[in-house]
Chains A and B, each alone.
Chain A
């Protein structure tokens, strides 16, 4: 099975957030970046499929030069080769624009399966995989926890809401977006890093793959949320405090 895993590099979850002068994105200087965690689960699923059925795992990422470190990490974990779509202007492309870039990079490879994480930790759109399927005219399934290869194609376990699941059968080639937590992530090893040095990374230029089209959804401005998390102590007698808490659970937390 030839599998392409689309991976995004995102700011570290721990990164200090400062809004850039233009007010449209955060200040990226001094930030550390790492592999989007849901994509790490997609990579894990791909590696497990390869280990079980043979084939090739290709990792694909679009972004500036720094993305190379994330691709190397994926190679170190066991991917066979990498494709880096170099682009410094990703911010000017919306989800559709980015998916177009990726689909153009994928087409010549004609993979059997395309995997990506359910969503990114920065923009949290959760659309790239589904849009890719549409652009490549392939069937897809999202929120996948488990992938099984069958004679006809794939049988996948999809997460529904409230503790429900569903099995879906679909033919290949197909696109799946992988839900975090279905597998346990492997860790990068020193041996993997050394081996990765000899693996191929193909560099494609974004401008040549697909020109920037005006986005249909424009990010106007960003702001820090007004309400910071802080502890609210509910005072009063046990009865009063309990009543106050029930109010909170009902209207703020919305679990009642």
Chain B
């Protein structure tokens, strides 16, 4: 093994002139950096304070920082190979912080790491330099790989526009690592060492000012972005005051939004996973963020210039299904949903959004009880027909029907199936005699007026009836009741029927047929609620679970969310068709769903009129289980089941 005699830590002796030149370069680099970075910081600070923002609980923030920034967990998990390459570059940067500091100190004659010195400090220096060398090697390989991927392989989601700066940056990083490594093979006083030292220095001073106006701004900002991210997934902030209508103009951009706009690293993970972008619609979540960045650069915060117009289009904003794939995927902590919903709020709360079907939905929900515009008498009829008990305060659960459960013929079948299972389990439940839409579609479309009316009316009805626990077959209802209603009161406990059923799994029939069943993760159950395993356990007691190409956190939307189920025909390919094809491609005979909206979308999408017989069945998990009620159960978890027996 070659033990290099020289390292960059032991540079040639510099002349005074060289030291002056070096100091001048560093100062010029720093000034140049700040000239570009300063205005960005000012723009972020000039933005509005975030209403409802709290730093507490700090533990979560520290953990997110540790996991997502330091461990690069999300970067690696969602794109393993390029993710790992990125992580090596990142970790090298961390390791190089000390090396670089020493490098600069040496230039001024005050180097503090000396591998040739005696004792502990020398040992530490030597160890550190070798460790850094390992990282430098990994980093050099990684950055080369990333360069090849970006400029030669070029995945579509990176967009058409090739950013030359990325090339420069990659080259500079490579140069930094190469010079560091090369120095191991030189001797202290050799001209080669001196030249390497200067190349390394030049790479550093050029690199620094490049950061603020390229996507490498994320180097500086994203740790803060991740640390300061909102508490929850799709955490839609409250309106600050009577003059706050959402994201209308520059003056409505909050500090977190501006910080996020500048943090985007343009990796395109959001675009890659966006159902709208991947079916040919105008919406591209990356462009939404970059649009805000251009707005901030050209117009700035604290202005009355509308946000929707040149930099972001209203059409695109209203194509979002709020599936949350973008927000989930984003490695730098950008929260797309509060931004997209915020822009919608701005357009809807001021009346700027004119859409026939949207207006109809709003008027329907303002006057009526459900998003489908049906008469509530139809709901009463269904309750009567199925003899569902009315909640009277004595039952344990309130079975919340939701609009689909109460009015959609197939949604009703899901509710009826689940009700039979509850009966079978001996769980007491009742349905509300009056129930309004939870407000999910208007919440996602940004209509705060109607959402507030619905949330308050429902909270009042539930409180009057002393409802403590809600169970429902609709993940949209679950999410809206549990999270979104909080702005207007204290909602009862709520859970999804698959969570409820999974807790009672030992009392459910376990038939395990050979039939293959593909489970589709609904966005509002998966990404919004982190419920992935319970529905799968339930599918597994009825048949053979198969997975679609994209599953769990990466599940692809059915196209119904975000109020889009009510907005009429979409442009481009249908999201539901894209997903239905993926599910059908598994060869499964049954598509298991856990959301009545997904169910309804796929029902339309799987069967063309002449291919109906070949198409898989679309069934809710409750229906799968209901069809086997009465058959023997499997006592998987004896301990848990004992508890359950005691409680009944």
Contact = CB atoms under 8 A, between A and B. Distances in A.
Touch A–B, Cβ below 8 Å: yes
A92 to B, nearest CB: 28
A161 B243 CA distance: 48
Interface string A183-226: 01111111111100000000000000000000000000000000
Given A188-B449, A190-B245, A193-B449, A13 B367 contact: yes
Nearest to B248: A191
B364 to A, nearest CB: 10
B368 A13 contact: yes
A14 B362 contact: no
Contact of B242 (A12, A184, A188, A194): A194
Nearest to A184: B356
Given A13-B375, A184-B356, A189 B348 contact: yes
Contact of A186 (B245, B351, B377): B351
Given A186-B351, A188-B449, A189-B351, A14 B368 contact: yes
Nearest to B368: A14
Interface string B372-407: 000111000000000000000000000000000000
A188 B367 CA distance: 11
A34 interface: yes
Contacts of A34: 366-367
Given A187-B447, A194-B242, A12 B366 contact: no
Interface in A154-196: 184-194
B369 interface: yes
B545 to A, nearest CB: 40
Interface in A8-35: 12-14, 16, 34
Interface string A37-59: 10010000000000000000000
Contacts of B447: 187, 189-190
B448 interface: yes
Nearest to A187: B362
B361 to A, nearest CB: 9
A189 B349 contact: yes
Contact of B359 (A14, A187, A194): A187
B350 interface: yes
B350 A189 contact: yes
Scoring A34, A189, A194 by chain B CB atoms within 10 A of each residue's CB, the highest score goes to A189
Interface residues of B, number: 26
A191 B356 contact: no
Contact of A185 (B359, B368, B375, B376): B359
A191 B350 CA distance: 5
A194 B452 CA distance: 14
Contacts of A37: 367
Instruction: Give the dominant DSSP class at A's interface.
Output: loop
B366 A187 contact: yes
A16 B381 CA distance: 13
A12 B358 CA distance: 20
A37 to B, nearest CB: 8
B359 A184 contact: yes
Contact of A187 (B239, B351, B369): B351
A192 B352 CA distance: 12
B465 interface: no
B363 interface: yes
Contacts of A193: 449
Contacts of B245: 190-191
A98 B497 CA distance: 53
Given A14-B376, A184-B356, A189 B367 contact: no
Contacts of B376: 14, 16
A4 B210 CA distance: 63
Scoring B363, B368, B448 by chain A CB atoms within 10 A of each residue's CB, the highest score goes to B363
A192 B351 contact: yes
A150 B275 CA distance: 50
A37 B373 CA distance: 14
B449 A189 contact: yes
Contacts of B358: 187
Interface string B320-357: 00000000000000000000000000001111001010
A187 B365 CA distance: 10
Scoring B242, B245, B375, B449 by chain A CB atoms within 10 A of each residue's CB, the highest score goes to B449
Given A13-B368, A194-B242, A187 B363 contact: yes
A74 to B, nearest CB: 13
A186 B358 CA distance: 10
A121 to B, nearest CB: 10
Contacts of B449: 188-190, 193
Scoring B349, B351, B376 by chain A CB atoms within 10 A of each residue's CB, the highest score goes to B351
A44 to B, nearest CB: 10
A162 B363 CA distance: 29
Nearest to B245: A191
Contacts of B356: 184
Scoring B239, B245, B367, B376 by chain A CB atoms within 10 A of each residue's CB, the highest score goes to B367
A14 B369 CA distance: 8
A16 B366 CA distance: 17
Contacts of A188: 362, 366, 449-450
A37 B363 CA distance: 10
A184 to B, nearest CB: 5
B367 A12 contact: yes
A16 B377 CA distance: 8
A159 to B, nearest CB: 20
A189 B450 CA distance: 8
Contacts of B363: 40, 185, 187
Nearest to B434: A16
B351 A191 contact: yes
Contacts of A40: 363
A34 B369 CA distance: 13
Contacts of B367: 12-14, 34, 37
Contacts of B360: 184-185
Contact of A191 (B349, B366, B369, B377): B349
Nearest to A40: B363
A12 to B, nearest CB: 6
Interface in A78-119: none
A103 B239 CA distance: 43
Scoring A40, A187, A188, A192 by chain B CB atoms within 10 A of each residue's CB, the highest score goes to A187
B349 A190 contact: yes
A171 B350 CA distance: 36
Nearest to B370: A14
A10 B245 CA distance: 30
Contacts of A13: 367-368, 375
Contacts of A191: 245, 349-351
9 contacts: A14-B367, A16-B376, A37-B367, A185-B360, A187-B358, A187-B366, A189-B351, A189-B447, A193-B449
Given A16-B376, A187-B348, 11 more contacts: A12-B367, A14-B369, A14-B376, A14-B377, A34-B367, A187-B351, A187-B358, A189-B350, A190-B350, A191-B350, A192-B351
- 9 closest A-B pairs by CB: A187-B362, A190-B349, A189-B351, A190-B449, A14-B376, A187-B359, A191-B350, A34-B367, A190-B448
Interface of A: 12-14, 16, 34, 37, 40, 184-194
